[in-house]
Chain A
């Protein structure tokens, strides 16, 4: 594993300092992933998932929000194709993350990138892109720390704990476990909102979802809300968007770390064997 300069960062710090900071941040993310994973395992068990099924979701799909959503979908009796469509919609944002990381990982062999892709969650992306930018170079080992140590392992161990202990709870509604799913969905949505466009998209998605769910079915309602909400968000004019990171600006590029979209093209060609070029 090597570190490669990208020439995009103006705030490079020593590799050891950057790695130390990454590990510190990873501890916080790991704690969060463990707590959330435990709740997921608990909810899955209460919804009738076997330990094998819950663990399969966490290892094979490895997509927190989509896994929570799948619990609700399965409980509601949705057909698998509908669940697949909703999962694809929910995880479409990952396309932005992979596009953002592409310039940094240009020199990484494709088989390794193929494996890295499976670990590309919201948390892994946030940790990694910040680490690369601080370092001013690509650090593959940092990616593995973010993807495996900070998220994959805690998430899966906690899922196992939750799904194992969940069987001992007789009446989950008395413990309010059924409210975790909608609360988690809403809370995750809040984390993605940075301005009026996202707010309008979210509000419209919810309104359309409820109306169509009442008129047709819950699954059609959710798909309709997810597809139509963004169109409403895009109607918000730039002047009134009040984004902390307006779409299409350099701030937005920084937020999603899309160097190729709005900024000069990084060239991660200089291998410096363990230290960033300065």
Chain B
């Protein structure tokens, strides 16, 4: 059984723990300039949407360059976004995304997966 990624888990801990602990263990961190706090507040949405968009819009072709892709996965992710915005329930959104993908692929709709 592989354990190689245990090291990655430790690395992820090492970069995550400081942001969790700094405020609790270093008094005064909350007095950072307001623009810095505002920036931090916006980092989460920007990173997460960048990851999501790149995942469903950029496909790396093994025999060629990366290309922009359109597929039913867009619909699945859009449905998840709509449900989370409406019901504030991520699990429900994920279930809808999976359902759309399964049905769409069974019907032969265009997919980013070859």
Contact = CB atoms under 8 A, between A and B. Distances in A.
Interface of A: 32, 35-36, 39, 49-53, 56-57, 59-63, 65-67, 69-70, 72, 74, 76, 80, 83-103, 105-106, 110, 113-114, 116-118, 120, 173-193, 197-199, 201-210, 213-214, 217-218, 221-222, 224-231, 233-234, 247-248, 256, 258, 260-261
Contacts, number: 342
Contact of A88 (B5, B6, B15): B15
A55 B25 CA distance: 27
Contacts of A74: 5, 8
Given A56-B9, A187-B81, A114 B93 contact: no
B12 to A, nearest CB: 4
B24 A185 contact: no
B114 to A, nearest CB: 10
B16 A88 contact: yes
A93 B96 CA distance: 28
A192 B67 CA distance: 29
A120 to B, nearest CB: 4
Contact of B13 (A60, A80, A98): A60
A183 B8 contact: no
Contacts of B37: 96, 99, 258, 261
Nearest to B11: A84
Contact of B30 (A32, A91, A176, A261): A261
14 contacts: A57-B9, A72-B55, A83-B8, A92-B19, A96-B41, A176-B99, A185-B55, A189-B49, A197-B42, A201-B46, A202-B49, A205-B45, A225-B54, A233-B42
A67 B8 CA distance: 10
Given A56-B9, A190-B84, A192-B48, A182 B43 contact: no
Interface residues of B, number: 79
Q: Looking at A59, A103, A173, A224, which has the most chain B CB atoms within 10 Å of its CB?
A: A173
Contact of B102 (A69, A99, A175, A209): A175
B73 A225 contact: no
Given A84-B12, A205-B49, A248 B38 contact: yes
